[in-house]
Structure 1
Amino acid sequence: MTESAAASSGRHDAPAAGVWPAPEAQDLEQLAREAFVPGGVLSRAAEAFRPRHGQTEMAAAVARTIAHGGALVVEAGTGVGKTFSYLVPALLSGERVLLSTATKTLQDQLFARDLPRLADALGLPVRMALLKGRASYLCTHRLELARHDANLPDRSALRTLAKIEQWAQTTRSGDLAEMPGLDERSPLLPLVTSTRENCLGSQCPKFRTCHVNAARREAMAADVVVINHHLFFADLAVRESGMAELLPSVRVVIFDEAHQLNETGVQFLGRQLGTGQVLDFARDMLGAGLQFARGLVDWQLAAGTLERAARDFRLSVGRTAPGARLRWAGAAPDGVDEVTWCEGLAALASALDLAAEGLATVHEAAPDLARLHERAVQLAQRVRAFEEAPQQGAVRWVDAGTHLRLVESPLDIAEAVQRKLLKTDADPEAENARKAWIFTSATLGDDARLSWFTEPCGLGDAEVVRVASPFDYAAQAALYLPRGLPKPNDPGHSDAVARVAQRAALRIGGRTMVLTTTLRALRAIGEQLQARFQATGELEVLVQGQWPKRRLIDRFREGAGDGRPGCILVASASFWEGVDVPGDALQLVIIDKLPFPPPGDPLVEARGQRLQAQGRSPFNDYFVPEAAVALKQGAGRLIRRESDRGLLVVCDTRLEQMGYGRRLLAALPPMRRIVDEGGFEEALDALAG
């Protein structure tokens, strides 16, 4: 995701934005409540609609906040129907609305399904826009440059390029997600999309037909604009386009899946520099230099010097474990020679200076060269910023993989939210004071004030509402904590988890998701299960990383049938949340360990140290709430509808043996408890039957 945006638009006989009369405060709450009564407008929008008290109360709270302004935080349990709860009052209000979600998939669902259905049911003339990041959209200028790129990865890239060129002739939106058969991991995508760094802006020869600019125009004319958190914070950090123009004209801002806001925000509110970014620049410079100013600068030398500097700098860190995150509290990251590191940074800055000097002599020859000159100067400035001490209250680290990524990050987004969004230091009579900020998710904390969310997001003064799930968890689901397992950090723990999964999944014919807390456990459990079932074919074992995420979920949802076996899905990280598999396709969720934050992570350490300096307990005030929220999210994969039934198995003996286990158990939905293996076998048989 990059720092600027493009959009698609939808229309329901819409005149100019925000033209229907806004109801009074009491009227808006009453209108919202009436929409949820039996036989009301929502009955026309959703065939399976049933009135739910919690859903109506959430809609009323949202309506009051929209009418009066201020910040509202709502934790709405699974099954409440929070999407309709915030959309109904937002649409009825007649206000312009900015709606931010966690992922592009959720954006597409809101824009293509939920919003049009509700607007039709309510009979409102709503103009909608879907605003994504630049990297989601075809850049026709860079597509033209890619045709002349002699360094395309391989023959398959040439075939993909030909398909994109053909599709480019017919697309209206330029949204690459609409192109059939395009792999979202294709190495060609960075060559045919733009970023804030390489976009030529109004100097681009394709400016008049640019998909990004057309999209922004649609967004500026819309009543409801659907974005995602990455785009929101990327744009907020640079004030470059999109939201910088859009936010001042919007009075209602809604963040769905708000539990991701803090971790998303800190990615963009600090500084970042990657050696991969530098190599991309070198490639762009070489291609544009040879095309527009061949013979005027030794482009091979300039690009080669920069590539060597970036690669030598990567080598200064040496070999690291995959995904390693190195603490960087002094002049160099832990375990890295200080002299070698500082010399590497200096060499990188010098190579960028050399590139900038060459580009300065020819920058008037083409807009591409002028933009490349700006990029070289900006990258050199970023390198030199990392040669200085970090900003006050920030933490630094290095992500070490194929490339290095240097990161300087704030510990949370509290200050940015209060200063840039809520503007708490502004005149209380100003227009901003009437803005409505609504934050909602199924999981926002484990205490009454939802401190896990409100504290790092600077929302301590917000109104907090908690709406319980309407599901009958005691009847629909059961929790089992196997005894006699190895301790979570013992070498045999993953093998034991795999054995539990193997026996249970066989008994119910698949329909099992195993969620792991580490990639090491993911590989160990996945390999053991695949080895067990590969020969017999009794079950198909799907492992995260072996297929694209969407393909894994689609195959898992299909389950057994048409000669195919049932499935076990072994996954980590992103599968703990946002994965919706209702019905019989998923009836057993197994969690390998309690999901505590990794203690050696520099950001986690810095947050703990800050709490300690405040006289608070890092474990009780940070580690346990983090684990409670993550555990709740993982457990939330199991029951998605009133008719679902299933079992949750947590393979971590600490949940019963440690004092904090009671707090973590209390965070889980109120499932009935299975106390022994015999009861577990009976529950499995009931599901199998």
Structure 2
Amino acid sequence: MPLHDPVREAFAEGGVLSRAAEHFLPRPGQTDMAMAVARTIESGGALVVEAGTGVGKTFSYLVPALLSGERVLLSTATKTLQDQLFGRDLPKLVQALGLPVRTALLKGRGSYLCLHRMEQARQDSTLPDRSAVRVLAKIEEWSQSTRTGDLAELPGLDERSAVIPLVTSTRENCLGSQCPKFRACHVNLARREALAADVVVINHHLFFADLAVRESGMAELLPTVRVAIFDEAHQLNETGVQFLGTQLTTGQLLDFSRDMLAAGLQLARGLVDWQQVAGTLERSARDLRLVVGRTAPGARLRWVAQAPADVDPDAWEAALSDVREACAGAAEALATVSEIAPDFARLIERADILGTRAQAFCEPCEAGSVRWVDAGAQLRLVESPLDIAKAVREKLLRSSGDESSKKSWIFTSATLGDDSRLSWFTEPCGLESAEVLQVESPFDYPAQAAVYVPRHLAKPGDPAHSGQVAALAAQAVRQLGGGTMVLTTTLRALRTIGEELQRQFDAASGIEVLVQGQWPKRRLIDRFREGASQGKPGCLLVASASFWEGVDVPGDALQLVIIDKLPFPPPGDPLVEARSQRLESQGRSPFNDYFIPEAAVALKQGAGRLIRRETDQGVLVVCDTRLATMGYGRRLMAALPPMRVLKGDDEFLEVLDGLAATRISTTDPAWT
């Protein structure tokens, strides 16, 4: 039977999905996407689907994938979405469809407890503080009962904890089969389960890390999979370029120095002057950082000549040479004790890798790549391809001569571009020849949502702009009583707006101001979702970066989204500059073909936080007059969902009054 028949039946009224859940409603767009996925699975090739919020894209790709009987790889953007897919959506569908399907979850090694490194951490006298000792004790207790070793299972563990790198492994420090805990290794258990499963859930970071080094178990897994599906595919290009180039960080050097010193003192004390060898490497890393000098927080330095911008070339070259020599010295010292324990053999490999990378950065940048330095408390030296197109064409889309085994590649997201070919996504991903499908959201945006561009605000470049955004947000929140998210395009604006709003709303105000960075992201979102419930005050969340996407807050917990300015890429960013120069060399317009599509996609992502369910209502405020006054503003406005446009302050305040008066309590449908 052709695959499209059981797929269509599953989504039909009275079909298996509607019988399995009371909240399921047949949606034409969801069915259309499912049928396109089914066709691609049967015929092979690549399909790119932009599915608007509310379409139910997860079921649209899962149902045909499961009914196909093929071995399937599912990749998501984040570990949080990965856990949701594996822990909620997949089991629900497998049960509803009555299929004997084996599923597995596979993350990068940094997500799993390393039993060997946990034992080493217990003996480490340099733990940061008492709280770190308590966290380590909690992890040790949990290690006695966990089966998977996935640290996401441990309640209350802060993902920013300094203990996590001490109890997890990296590709560089893993001992592999020589590890004394190899048989009980959680990473190897996860890989074995993945190799035996019919459906494997991974994330984009793991996929590209493996594509770069062929080390994470995917080298065995991917050839046996005929269907690969990438959800939240809009992140693929930026994730991929992180892994397909070369990186060297002073943090890697300091971690290696610390690990070498700990292993040397524990396993070969007195045989080498470990303090001297580690100290030389540590000094070389710190000297490299000092050569760059003071920089603005999060600065990204252009590197088109011998040294990064504003850095003395001779001093830079000497510092890099010292790093290379310190790595070579460490390798020589480790070689004298390499037979004592497997730890030393792995440390030698790490020293060689770090030294090779340091040498690579002494050479000119490869053609078609861009080089820069991220300068913060540590340095990160990066050489990256401009996009992943070449890697996708050469490593993914090349099929074997046997057409019966031709692979199927499905890429989907709510936001993939602002033109009919979705070229913002397809061009940098090498997917220009893929089939493209756009499925509109089923939401009634003109009835559910409005967009407002205040004309009285200062221009975004004016120093007064952030303060005026904070004042507008404060006025709106007082009227609405909470349920507001302010999304900023820069960390500077985040701090300015966040501090001003915290000053305006004290503990007695009935409004709790949450600012990105004060708590872990998960805790901030959980508190924000609670809103004004169980005697708690309403919430105002000020956030940037990762909060623009992947945040799902349905109901009246979020009714107002304020964006401080249009999210254009920073023109001084080295990667942005290199991409712009490439377009110019092709006779194209960087502004029209790069800056505007980037801003359109980011704006759509931010606006997508507002309406998450059929019963949601809210307002989007974009505090950038260019959206209303510049010619390109029409293109950006057209990229947004078709919300009704508010003409002035009075209309805006009237809508807020209506939202405040009719607080709608929504239920989260189990089947969407």
TM-score (norm 2): 0.97
Q: Secondary structure at the match of 1:409?
A: strand
1:545/1:124 Cα in 2 relative to 1: closer, same or farther (>3 Å)?
same
Deviations 1:44-72 (CA, angstroms, capped at 9, x unpaired): 44331000000000000000000000000
1:88/1:535 Cα in 2 relative to 1: closer, same or farther (>3 Å)?
closer
Report the counterpart of residue 247 of structure 2 in structure 1. Answer: 272
Report the counterpart of residue 582 of structure 1 in structure 2. Answer: 554
The question of whether the paired residues in 2 share the 8 Å contact of 1:235 and 1:241 is answered with: yes
Deviations 1:214-236 (CA, angstroms, capped at 9, x unpaired): 11110000000000000000011
In 1, the alpha carbon distance for the partners of 2:128 and 2:519 equals 21
Report the counterpart of residue 9 of structure 1 in structure 2. Answer: none
In 1, the alpha carbon distance for the partners of 2:534 and 2:74 equals 41
The question of whether the paired residues in 2 share the 8 Å contact of 1:414 and 1:455 is answered with: yes
Report the counterpart of residue 187 of structure 2 in structure 1. Answer: 212
Match of 1:105 among 71, 80, 86: 80
Report the counterpart of residue 612 of structure 2 in structure 1. Answer: 640
In 2, the alpha carbon distance for the partners of 1:351 and 1:430 equals 52
Q: Secondary structure at the match of 2:479?
A: helix
The question of whether the paired residues in 2 share the 8 Å contact of 1:128 and 1:223 is answered with: yes
Structure-to-structure mapping, 1:57-76, within 5 angstroms = 57-76=32-51
Report the counterpart of residue 506 of structure 2 in structure 1. Answer: 534
In 2, the alpha carbon distance for the partners of 1:179 and 1:536 equals 34
Report the counterpart of residue 399 of structure 1 in structure 2. Answer: 374
Match of 2:576 among 604, 625, 629: 604
Deviations 1:390-440 (CA, angstroms, capped at 9, x unpaired): 1110000000011000000000000000000002xx6544666x1000000
The percentage of counterpart residues that share the same residue type is 75
Report deviation, 1:539: 1.1
Report the counterpart of residue 235 of structure 1 in structure 2. Answer: 210
Question: What is the letter of the counterpart of residue 518 of structure 2?
Answer: Q
In 2, the alpha carbon distance for the partners of 1:337 and 1:47 equals 67
Structure-to-structure mapping, 1:180-191, within 5 angstroms = 180-191=155-166
- Paired residue total: 661
Match of 1:133 among 108, 127, 151: 108
> Which blocks of at least 5 consecutive residues in structure 2 are unaligned?
662-672
Report the counterpart of residue 488 of structure 1 in structure 2. Answer: 460
The reply on whether 1:625 has 2:597 as its aligned counterpart is yes
Report the counterpart of residue 447 of structure 2 in structure 1. Answer: 475
In 1, the alpha carbon distance for the partners of 2:20 and 2:237 equals 33
Report deviation, 1:686: 0.6
The question of whether the paired residues in 1 share the 8 Å contact of 2:206 and 2:216 is answered with: no
Q: Secondary structure at the match of 2:106?
A: strand
Report the counterpart of residue 438 of structure 2 in structure 1. Answer: 466
Match of 1:367 among 313, 331, 342: 342
Report deviation, 1:337: 0.6
Q: Secondary structure at the match of 1:685?
A: helix
Match of 2:491 among 486, 510, 519: 519
Report the counterpart of residue 566 of structure 1 in structure 2. Answer: 538
Report the counterpart of residue 452 of structure 1 in structure 2. Answer: 424
Q: Secondary structure at the match of 1:395?
A: strand
Question: What is the letter of the counterpart of residue 559 of structure 1?
Answer: G
In 2, the alpha carbon distance for the partners of 1:465 and 1:491 equals 43
Question: What is the letter of the counterpart of residue 123 of structure 1?
Answer: G
In 2, the alpha carbon distance for the partners of 1:562 and 1:55 equals 36
In 2, the alpha carbon distance for the partners of 1:427 and 1:685 equals 62
Q: Secondary structure at the match of 1:247?
A: helix
Match of 1:670 among 623, 627, 642: 642
The question of whether the paired residues in 1 share the 8 Å contact of 2:108 and 2:216 is answered with: no
In 2, the alpha carbon distance for the partners of 1:556 and 1:276 equals 34
Report the counterpart of residue 679 of structure 1 in structure 2. Answer: 651
In 2, the alpha carbon distance for the partners of 1:507 and 1:361 equals 72
In 2, the alpha carbon distance for the partners of 1:560 and 1:241 equals 44
Report deviation, 1:291: 0.9
Deviations 1:307-364 (CA, angstroms, capped at 9, x unpaired): 1110011000001111000000000000101111001000011111110000011111
Question: What is the letter of the counterpart of residue 232 of structure 1?
Answer: F
In 2, the alpha carbon distance for the partners of 1:364 and 1:44 equals 64
Report deviation, 1:152: 1.2
TM-score (norm 1): 0.95
Structure-to-structure mapping, 1:117-516, within 5 angstroms = 117-423=92-398, 428-429=401-402, 434-516=406-488
The question of whether the paired residues in 1 share the 8 Å contact of 2:529 and 2:557 is answered with: yes
Deviations 1:569-605 (CA, angstroms, capped at 9, x unpaired): 0111101000000001000011110000000000000
In 1, the alpha carbon distance for the partners of 2:528 and 2:161 equals 24
The question of whether the paired residues in 2 share the 8 Å contact of 1:45 and 1:117 is answered with: no
Report deviation, 1:677: 1.2
In 2, the alpha carbon distance for the partners of 1:554 and 1:121 equals 29
In 2, the alpha carbon distance for the partners of 1:611 and 1:637 equals 32
Report deviation, 1:238: 0.4
Report the counterpart of residue 32 of structure 1 in structure 2. Answer: 7
In 2, the alpha carbon distance for the partners of 1:491 and 1:630 equals 23
Question: What is the letter of the counterpart of residue 95 of structure 2?
Answer: D
> After the TM superposition, which segments of 4 or more aligned residues of structure 1 sit over 4 Å from their partners?
none
Question: What is the letter of the counterpart of residue 224 of structure 1?
Answer: V
Deviations 1:352-390 (CA, angstroms, capped at 9, x unpaired): 111000001111110001100111111101100110011
Q: Secondary structure at the match of 2:463?
A: coil
Structure-to-structure mapping, 1:650-665, within 5 angstroms = 650-665=622-637
Q: Secondary structure at the match of 1:541?
A: strand
The question of whether the paired residues in 1 share the 8 Å contact of 2:50 and 2:414 is answered with: yes
In 2, the alpha carbon distance for the partners of 1:170 and 1:427 equals 45
In 2, the alpha carbon distance for the partners of 1:235 and 1:562 equals 46
For structure 1, which segment, 661-670 or 33-42, has the greater mean C-alpha deviation from structure 2 after superposition? 33-42
Report the counterpart of residue 14 of structure 1 in structure 2. Answer: none
1:503/1:636 Cα in 2 relative to 1: closer, same or farther (>3 Å)?
same
Deviations 1:62-101 (CA, angstroms, capped at 9, x unpaired): 0000000000000000000000000000000000000000
Report deviation, 1:535: 6.0
Q: Secondary structure at the match of 1:316?
A: helix
In 1, the alpha carbon distance for the partners of 2:404 and 2:144 equals 45
> Which blocks of at least 5 consecutive residues in structure 1 are unaligned?
1-23
Report the counterpart of residue 667 of structure 2 in structure 1. Answer: none
Q: Secondary structure at the match of 2:18?
A: helix
The question of whether the paired residues in 1 share the 8 Å contact of 2:245 and 2:383 is answered with: yes
